[in-house]
Amino acid sequence: MSRHCPSLVRVLGPGAITLALLTGCAELQPAMRDILEGGGRGNPRPQTVTYECDDDREFAARFSANRREVRIQTDDGETYQLERTGRGRGGGGSQYSDDDGEVRLTVGGGAVELSIEDEDDFEDCRAET
């Protein structure tokens, strides 16, 4: 076992010893990290999504685990921190905004749009696959 496995075994108990022996520590560490960090089944994890928009523009959105916050990085290197402020159009999805309301992200209903005051909107955005 690598030197990291004993610490996981100590935290998770004797059942982890059998699992570590059967799977090997290399395979055990990511699974145990997910469990310890709340990323197991039913527990969302932070997620980064890159969106391609019209006019060949794109931005990346890093959603927090609870989906209440999102950090946006545009293709020109600007970064914005937004908080969920409500529901998207028609009650589906989510609306995010910065403190001033100058930057807004709408996600849901098959449409994603990013609006930044005094700049062209990112429209008709789709998640890259």
Res. 50: pLDDT tops 60: yes
In tens, the pLDDT along 4-26 reads: 445 444 444 555 444 444 445 55
Pairing label, strands 57-63, 69-74: antiparallel
This model's pTM is above 0.85: no
32/19 Cα distance (integer angstroms): 11
Lowest model confidence (mean pLDDT) among 12-16, 44-48, 76-80, 114-118: 12-16
Q: Please provide the average confidence, as pLDDT, over all residues in the chain.
A: 77
**Residue 38: its pLDDT value, please?**
46
Apex 86 CA angle, 65 and 126, nearest 5:
65
In tens, the pLDDT along 23-49 reads: 455 544 454 444 444 445 566 799 999
**Residue 32: its pLDDT value, please?**
42
pLDDT interval class at 91 (50, 70, 90): low
CB within 8 Å of 21: residues ≥ 6 apart: none
Burial of residue 63 (CB within 10 Å: 0-12, 13-18, 19+) is buried
